Chains A and B, each alone.
Chain A
Amino acid sequence: MPPAVEVTALSRVFVGKSPVVALDNVDLDVEEGELFGLLGPNGAGKTTLIKILSTLLLPSKGSAKVLGYDVAKETSKIRPLINMVSGGEISGYGLLTVRENLWMFSQFYGIPGKVANERIDALLHAFGLEDKADVKVRTISTGQRQRMNIIRGFVTDPRLIFLDEPTLGLDVQTSRAIRDYIRTWVRSQEGRTLLLTTHYMREAEELCDRVAIIDRGTILACDSPEGLKRRMNRASTFVLDTTHFDSSVISNIAGVKGVSAEAMKEGLRIKLVVEDESAISDIISSVGASGGKVLGLNKSEPTLEDVFIKLVGRGLE
């Protein structure tokens, strides 16, 4: 059985006055039945990759296959098998009801009316949207709209679904409901594959069988969340609380692999990935020398975020 996604030496350059390299020589395999995550900051190339895989965009170089078919040449074989949902998208028509919009999109996949309606009912129930079924789309809230979008993706029962930042800007409860559904959907039938892009570390860690970390068009690492964390082996992670000061001095200290500073009410919370724990004393000295004061220091268990900081050298948020 071919992999669900097979990407080889894939590049995409947007030509213009100043050409942008969105993807640079990317290799990636996603197996059937996998819940795969692409983790990276804004502009990393995640959406470009999704667009290529979903047949909306052609690669500049390299090849990409989806469910065994070439994205450049065999679009008509790929399209019946996939679907795509993007976070914050405005799909359909405001004048139609939620149900009508979903029905319309199901027709674009040739699903018989009865089957479509049964699936729509089941999905509206699963996402707690039954009471909005006959309400015009333009009157529903952002969260409800995104739940409708997600339903639109699943209503065609795709073999492979691309979810591009599906929980972007949603509240905790809605995000959790969506994650729960995704997990159940992939596991409930063999051969269902899901490719998710996100810049939420927790989401990737909680959901995905494997995660690829992507930055500036390049895949930096690809493994299970646990596997990625194990790559931290020699590196140690610390959380350093300080008063406000210019934290950029820390990244220049020998032994420091990554720094991510977050402004808190009373000062800074700095996540550190160090190769050699002896660097800590230099870090503390530099805080004092830069006019800051150390409020606390804790060694922490590595998270996906720490892996990201180590690989990219900076935080994601």
Chain B
Amino acid sequence: MLNVRAAFGRAYPRAIGAIREPSWTFFDVLLPLLGIAAYIYYYRALGADPAFEGFVVLGGAMTAFWLNVLWGMAAQLYWEKETGNLQLFLVTPMSRMALLAGMALGGMFAAGIRALSTLLLGILLFNVNMVVVDPLLLVAVFMVTLIAIYGMGMMFASLFMLYGRDAWNISNLLQEPIYLVSGFYFPVKALGPWVSLIAAVIPITLGLDAMRQELFGPVANGLMPVVWELTILVVLAVAFLVMARWSLEYMEGLGRKEGRLTLRWQ
């Protein structure tokens, strides 16, 4: 019960904080639409199949989650350390996984609203057509993808906890390069079988590929059948959660040993 309360306690500021500062709607929903629109017009200029415009909207919506994983998860414990909160969290009896789960749940909620807004506005503004073949499979892919990418974020959070600005910088580095190799705006298969298979270690790659296949059919040029992708995603989700737990324990122990849990302004 303690850990459920703790997770909810940590999720609260995420959920309420993101809504309370109203400027987020402008910054996090309307402004990213500009980039999405640019890519859509780019595809139009190239004479691409209209489904590609749908790829962009879907990729743009999932960007909300990916950015949240990078900035709200991976770099967060580092940020908590910098602001002095980390030591207060670590003297509490809650499980560290509950802390990360709270961050993830709150983050998913906030990013979910953003993703949904982006998706709806994108569909409305650019007349994107999506046909859901198997809604249950789509929901399963989406949920497992979320668990897997947030699991990955939890693992990064623990790994980056003790490091200085490297954490921030690695998060920074995982934006455009991941949009590229994970195929946020085009079928990932276009990168060739080897690059796309290596990129599949990042769960968002297979998640996006599967969702594209579910929503746009054969034009999505999928990397492998959706059910296979779902299975791999489940394995990745479990693996990242286990690694997150392990790395968190290890890094906290290391931090206590080296006195780096409370070191600021690195």
Q: Mark A152-178, 1 if CB is under 8 A from B, else 0.
A: 100000000000000000000000000
The 8 Å CB contact of A95, one of B2, B3, B20, B89, is B20
Residue of A nearest to B1 (CB): A110
Q: Is the interface of B mostly helix, strand, loop or mixed?
A: helix
B8 at the interface (CB under 8 A from A): yes
B10 at the interface (CB under 8 A from A): yes
**Complex CA distance for A107 and B5, rounded to whole angstroms:** 5
User: A84 and B17: CB pair below 8 A?
Assistant: no
- In the assembled complex, 26 residue pairs joining A and B whose CB atoms fall closer than 8 Å, in A order, are A51-B259, A56-B262, A57-B256, A79-B93, A82-B91, A90-B83, A90-B84, A91-B88, A92-B85, A93-B13, A93-B17, A96-B17, A103-B9, A104-B9, A104-B13, A105-B9, A107-B8, A107-B9, A107-B10, A108-B5, A108-B89, A108-B93, A108-B99, A110-B5, A111-B5, A152-B88
Residue of A nearest to B20 (CB): A95
Residue of A nearest to B89 (CB): A108
**Complex CA distance for A107 and B9, rounded to whole angstroms:** 5
Residues in B neighbouring A90, C-beta threshold 8 A: 83-85
Enumerate B59-106 residues with CB–CB distance to A below 8 Å. 83-85, 87-94, 99
Interface centre among A56, A80, A91, A105 (most CB of B within 10 A): A56
**Complex CA distance for A107 and B88, rounded to whole angstroms:** 13
User: B84 and A91: CB pair below 8 A?
Assistant: yes
Residues in A neighbouring B39, C-beta threshold 8 A: none
User: B262 and A51: CB pair below 8 A?
Assistant: yes
The 8 Å CB contact of A109, one of B8, B20, B92, B262, is B92
Given contacts A76-B93, A109-B93, A110-B94, contact A58 B257 (CB under 8 A): yes
Residues in A neighbouring B90, C-beta threshold 8 A: 55-56
User: B94 and A108: CB pair below 8 A?
Assistant: yes
Residues in B neighbouring A57, C-beta threshold 8 A: 256, 259, 261-262
Sample of 15 further A-B pairs with CB below 8 A, known A51-B262, A152-B88: A15-B258, A56-B262, A57-B256, A79-B91, A80-B93, A89-B88, A90-B83, A91-B88, A100-B13, A105-B92, A107-B9, A108-B6, A108-B99, A110-B5, A110-B93
Residues in B neighbouring A103, C-beta threshold 8 A: 9, 12
**Complex CA distance for A109 and B1, rounded to whole angstroms:** 10
Q: Mark A66-98, 1 if CB is under 8 A from B, else 0.
A: 000000000010011011100001111101100
Residues in A neighbouring B256, C-beta threshold 8 A: 55-58
Residues in B neighbouring A112, C-beta threshold 8 A: 5
B21 at the interface (CB under 8 A from A): yes
Shortest Cβ distance from B162 into chain A, in angstroms?
A: 13
Which chain B residues have a beta carbon within 8 Å of chain A's beta carbons? 1-3, 5-6, 8-10, 12-13, 16-17, 20-21, 83-85, 87-94, 99, 256-259, 261-262
**Complex CA distance for A273 and B113, rounded to whole angstroms:** 69
The 8 Å CB contact of B17, one of A58, A95, A107, is A95
Residues in B neighbouring A109, C-beta threshold 8 A: 2, 92-94
Residue of A nearest to B19 (CB): A95
User: A83 and B2: CB pair below 8 A?
Assistant: no
**Complex CA distance for A83 and B87, rounded to whole angstroms:** 11
**Complex CA distance for A58 and B254, rounded to whole angstroms:** 9
Shortest Cβ distance from B78 into chain A, in angstroms?
A: 16
Shortest Cβ distance from B5 into chain A, in angstroms?
A: 4
Residues in B neighbouring A181, C-beta threshold 8 A: none
Residues in B neighbouring A82, C-beta threshold 8 A: 91
User: A91 and B85: CB pair below 8 A?
Assistant: yes
Residues in B neighbouring A108, C-beta threshold 8 A: 5-6, 9-10, 89, 92-94, 99
Closest 5 CB pairs of A and B: A107-B9, A110-B2, A79-B93, A108-B92, A80-B93
Residue of A nearest to B261 (CB): A56
Residues in A neighbouring B261, C-beta threshold 8 A: 56-57
Shortest Cβ distance from B165 into chain A, in angstroms?
A: 19
User: B93 and A14: CB pair below 8 A?
Assistant: no
A54 at the interface (CB under 8 A from B): yes
**Complex CA distance for A14 and B261, rounded to whole angstroms:** 13
User: A83 and B91: CB pair below 8 A?
Assistant: yes
Enumerate A19-64 residues with CB–CB distance to B below 8 Å. 51, 54-58
Residue of B nearest to A13 (CB): B259
Residue of A nearest to B99 (CB): A108
Residue of A nearest to B17 (CB): A95
**Complex CA distance for A56 and B86, rounded to whole angstroms:** 10
Interface centre among B10, B92, B94 (most CB of A within 10 A): B92
User: A55 and B91: CB pair below 8 A?
Assistant: yes
**Complex CA distance for A42 and B85, rounded to whole angstroms:** 22
User: A100 and B91: CB pair below 8 A?
Assistant: no
Shortest Cβ distance from A14 into chain B, in angstroms?
A: 6
Shortest Cβ distance from B97 into chain A, in angstroms?
A: 13
The 8 Å CB contact of A89, one of B2, B10, B17, B84, is B84
User: B88 and A104: CB pair below 8 A?
Assistant: no
Residue of A nearest to B90 (CB): A56
